[in-house]
Structure 1
Amino acid sequence: MPRKTIRIKASDYRYPSRDELREIYNINPDLHAFGYMSEYPMTALISMKKGIKEVHRDDHLQYWDRVLLNRNGMLSRTYHNAMVHYMRGFPDDESAFEHEHYINRIQFDQYAEIFYYHFSTVKDTIGQLLNVYYSMGFDVAKLFFKNVLAKIPDQAVLKAITDFNVLTEVTTEYRNSFTHRTPINYPDSRSTIDHTGDSLIYGSANHNFVKSSVIRDNMESTFVALAGLLDTLKILLPQKISGI
């Protein structure tokens, strides 16, 4: 049986409209940074209001907070675009697709996969902020979000992050599969070999995959969980040491 040929034209690609984006914005929370501030380092040093270590710390807190703000923005745009293309519609069962469904699915898949990459960068940026805030001493190039847990002295902060990790455990698994293993959103068509004693049993593909509706629900719950974590940490991590 010949394969069905699908032709996607440039005109099929439509950027989300203002009304479509507004509909998504209105039902989802915002992702906030912490709002850390610092004087220009040389000004602070010349005024002698703070020591070198304090000025250095404030400068790095503000830097990572700006990075977090930008990465939150990239994650938000990716999330909102993915949700618009999902909202435009396509069934989970590809055999039921009409022509207009293909572009919606293609665009959703693209933004969904990028969402998981940006999610990971936001997590690691929070880790960089915690590293500076608590003077943990991790090398920037060797720090990962999970590494900071053992050095967090505040139990409320530790609980907030631990709870977040539990809520986003599947999210992390999806991200790792997208990045390092098989894509979760298309059937796994690989054959298998089972070693039974001295025999080898060849098996056909299992074609397992995660439905778009399940990925969409995970993205939404992840976005809400991240917004909640950021709001909680903003309260628990005030810029109190610098005196700004």
Structure 2
Amino acid sequence: MRIVVIGGHGLIGSRVVEKLTERGVTAVAASRRTGVNSFTADGLADVLDGADVIVDVSNSSYFDEAGALEFFYASTLNLLTYGAAAGVKNHVALSVVGTDRLAATERGYFFAKNEQERLIRDSGSSFSIVHSTQFYEFVRSIADAATVEKRVLLSEAQVRPIAADDVATALADAATAEPTNRTTEIAGPDQYRLSEFVRQDLAYRGDPRDIITDPLARYFGSSLTETELLPAPEARLFSTRYADWLHHQPVTV
């Protein structure tokens, strides 16, 4: 089995490649570092030659709707087109829990992600879409994006975050199994308010910023209800706890 990981040198992609390799699978890390660009299609024909599965963990560098939509539309169509030509049997894509709900109410980045999923579902190709909750590794970005004059303004939303390593395991499982032709959800073992998730990280690193819970605070430009980022009850739950993960991280401010 030959599996090509698009975005294979990033946070999740590099872990997926490692886990697949440990299973004895031929895993190819494809990214701009290796001359592969899913947005422009550069290098796609060559890297997908002989591929059985695509795992797409690429992401837009833009969080506004127009920029994200341009990336996901072009990139996804390229992967589907070149994948079909190469005879790829499973298109695995990573997305976000709550994408469909936020696409309908808030649009923005989540509208673009929802369009990515729609293109995959409507393509006629076999696929497996994995919806993940927020990564533990993403906590600092959440805090920074919500900071206004040394105060971190966070909504009352609840989250069930997950370790990137567990996300990679779920994707490796999806890539080596038969296509589901549906969306499955994954999450971590514990549920927090968004403010508590961030507060633990700031306290661990001695970050002096104040955390303010504000029902009007936005999450990367989107307004959230309390449960909008939570997975469904049937989600696959992983066992890595946030507190255990946190205490293995370097203390840097």
Using the size of structure 2 for normalisation, the TM-score is 0.24
Question: Larger relative CO (CA 8 A, sep 6+): 1 or 2?
Answer: 1
Which structure has the larger Rg over C-alpha atoms? 1
Structure showing the higher strand proportion among its residues:
2
Greater fraction helix: 1
